[in-house]
Amino acid sequence: MSAGATFLVARNTMARHLRTARFWLMTVLSSVPFWIALIAGGELQHFFDTTLFLSYQVVLPLLGLIMGVSVLQDEIEARTITYLYTTPMSRASVFLGRLLGTYAAFAPLLFLSVLGSGLVYTDAGAELGMRRLPQSDFLTAHQMWATAAFAAAGFLVYLTFFASLRAILKRAFGIGFILTFLVEGAVSKIPQGDIAQLSVWRHVALGFLKTFEEWPSGFTKMFPELGHPGGGEWRTLLGIFVGALVVGLWAVREREVRLPASVA
Amino acid sequence: MILTLKDVAKWYGPVIGLVDVSVEIEQGVTGLLGPNGAGKSTFLKLVAGQLRPSTGEVRVLGHDPFRTPAVFRKVGFSPEPDAFYEDMTGLGFVSFLTRLRGFTPSEARRKAQEAVECVGLTEAAHKRIGAYSKGMRQRIKLAQALAHDPEILILDEPLTGLDPVARRRIVELVRELGEQGRTILISSHVLHEVEAMTPRIVLLHQGRVLARGTIDEIRALLDQYPHRIVVRSPDARELAQALLAAPGVVGVQLADGMVRIDANNPDEVYDLLPGLVLERNLSVHGLEMADASLDAIFEYLVK
């Protein structure tokens, strides 16, 4: 029964996401790398490489924050969570259903975004009428795919992380925002192969601040510093995902939900 | 016992929700009464597993409702907030929640249709909830609580916003469900509404149980307090003067063509009044026991 009910909640969640303005904003934002690749490619190579990279590694974590917090927040703000929590479903199943529904709504967007951006590097893209882009020293087609895939997976991990944070904290968005930009900036000192690769602040700092005076050619200099995600980063990502999910499931089970103006 | 609260307290930070509440709710309809802020919604949310008690123990059919969601196969809850999936149809909303309670799609739809019919919303069943009136929204909330045929119904202010016809229908429905042997806990701050559904009540005030039992039992508890009698008379001043010295009368108030008499033994006043009126040639237009209603009982208890 629980799996079926979880699926129902997931389906309902996905359907509800598709009707929100937020979804359409996400659609536009997630297509940005593709449009940049298509329009700017070839003629503004530095700009293209950098923006593509930043789109995945800065914009997507922020969208992960927005979407992640919404997993529980939407139901709490609408006060409809009361209905879900007075069914025989466990709270963990409700949380899981909401999470799966949110993945299901947004993962295809990311997939299309990654696919679209990657295509401009390939012969297949050229055959579809896209301009075949020259590969830069730093960003080869292979690296492009690896980075994009990592960023897309990172989005889902961020989403899970912030969904869990909301299960613990009422003001998860503000705290999540600080966490994304400041705390990660601090932990970005950790050597490669660790959480550093996930640091939004690190990318912003390196991408904009360090290279500001030499813009746009300075962007290219930062790439070797950032490196490309490899096995260590994937393991870190998986660890964060599992940890966040476990904490989130625990939190929804243990913590009561306070609806707006619930004191009566 | 079907619903039990034992030494329950609930705080929202420094704000008191409930204090030292021990109540057992039996089969049938029980009204949970109290003014706004009395703790009614907190009480119901604890029973519906939405909140955890700060101290004490809540049991529904022997289980902790916060920890045992399975108990909601037998419990229906109609919350007080006016919250819905606005873009769903009424029938879709009830079907969806009924499916979450473990029914197949066809069973859920059938049960939802029955529940929607039961609350008199058949014609609007396929309309979006966003287009529903306040009364229709209340009824669809009730329908989702009823659809899976629960043993226990917890209804938080279910009559708010209903027109008189719908109100009568819901009052009859609640009474009928109670007579069928279900346990219904219904909150309201409008006393006569609850009186129409059940004589059994729990009175809450400032997070505490003020009294519980049938209205008659609670009234009997009040015999230690003065009873109030209101006499309407154009000669109110003279009547008040005459009553001041009467035995058993502990207070007399004059107000706009009426005398309010507080008496330890109202029967004495009833015996005395005709003689006084005749003797002084006074007119009396009406006489009533002002505290026979639940409102008055409540007022006394709160004082």
| Contact at CB, B99 and A84, closer than 8 angstroms | no
Residue of higher predicted confidence among B72 and B301? B72
Q: Is domain B3-219 given the CATH code 3.40.50.300 in the classification?
A: yes
Any domain includes A263: no
Residues of A in contact with B81 (CB under 8 A): 79, 82, 259
Domain of A138, in residue numbers: 2-254
Rounded to a whole number, what is the distance in Å from the CA of B235 to chain A's nearest CA?
46
pLDDT band at A213; cut points 50, 70, 90: low
Interface ipTM > 0.85: no
Which of A6, A86, A258 best tests the B interface by mutation, with the highest count of B CBs <10 A? A86
Contacts of A191 (CB under 8 A, 6+ apart): none
Backbone angles phi, psi at B142, to 5 degrees: -70, -40
Token match 């089969």: residue? B27
| Contact at CB, A80 and B85, closer than 8 angstroms | yes
Closest-approach residue (CA) in chain B for A89: B69
Torsion over CA: A165, A169, A171, A174 (sign): negative
pLDDT band at A207; cut points 50, 70, 90: low
Q: Does B126 contact chain A (CB < 8 Å)?
A: no
Any domain includes A31: yes
Any domain includes A99: yes
Any domain includes A247: yes
Rounded to a whole number, what is the distance in Å from the CA of B50 to chain A's nearest CA?
7
Is pTM beyond 0.90? Reply is no
Rounded to a whole number, what is the distance in Å from the CA of B45 to chain A's nearest CA?
9
Token match 């008189």: residue? B164
Is residue A196 over pLDDT 60?
Answer: no
Total domain count, chain A? 1
Q: Domain map of chain B by residue range? A: 3-219, 225-302
Strands B183-188 and B152-156: parallel
| Contact at CB, A79 and B96, closer than 8 angstroms | no
As a whole number of Å, the CA-based R_g of chain A is: 20
Any domain includes A261: no
Domain B225-302: top CATH class: alpha beta
Q: Does A249 contact chain B (CB < 8 Å)?
A: no
Q: Does A20 contact chain B (CB < 8 Å)?
A: no
For chain A, give the mean pLDDT.
76
Which of B87, B93, B100 best tests the A interface by mutation, with the highest count of A CBs <10 A? B100
- Evaluate the omega torsion of the peptide bond into residue B65 and state whether it is cis, within 30 degrees of 0: no
Of A5-19, A101-115, B19-33, B139-153, least confident by mean pLDDT is A101-115
Three-class secondary structure of residue B9 per DSSP: strand
- A177-185: long-range contacts at Cβ-Cβ below 8 A with a sequence spacing of 24 or more? A177/A65, A180/A61, A180/A62, A180/A65
Residue length of chain B: 303
Backbone angles phi, psi at B211, to 5 degrees: -165, 160
Is the fold of B3-219 the same as that of B225-302? no
Tens-place pLDDT, residues A116-152: 766 766 666 666 665 555 556 556 667 767 777 777 7
- Rounded distance between C-alpha atoms, residue A229 and residue A226, angstroms: 9
Predicted local confidence at residue A129, as pLDDT:
60
Residues of B in contact with A262 (CB under 8 A): 12, 41, 45
- Rounded distance between C-alpha atoms, residue B240 and residue B68, angstroms: 61
Tens-place pLDDT, residues B248-284: 788 888 888 889 888 877 778 888 888 888 888 888 8
Task: Please tell me which of the candidates B15, B48, B69 has its beta carbon nearest to residue A90.
Answer: B69
- Rounded distance between C-alpha atoms, residue B25 and residue A174, angstroms: 43
DSSP A32-83: HHHHHHHHHTTTSHHHHHHHHHHIIIIIHHHHHHHHHHHHHHHHHHTTTHHH
CA atoms within 13 A on the CB side of A95: 28
Closest-approach residue (CA) in chain A for B187: A264
Predicted local confidence at residue A49, as pLDDT:
59
Task: Please tell me which of the candidates A83, A86, A264 has its beta carbon nearest to residue B41.
Answer: A264
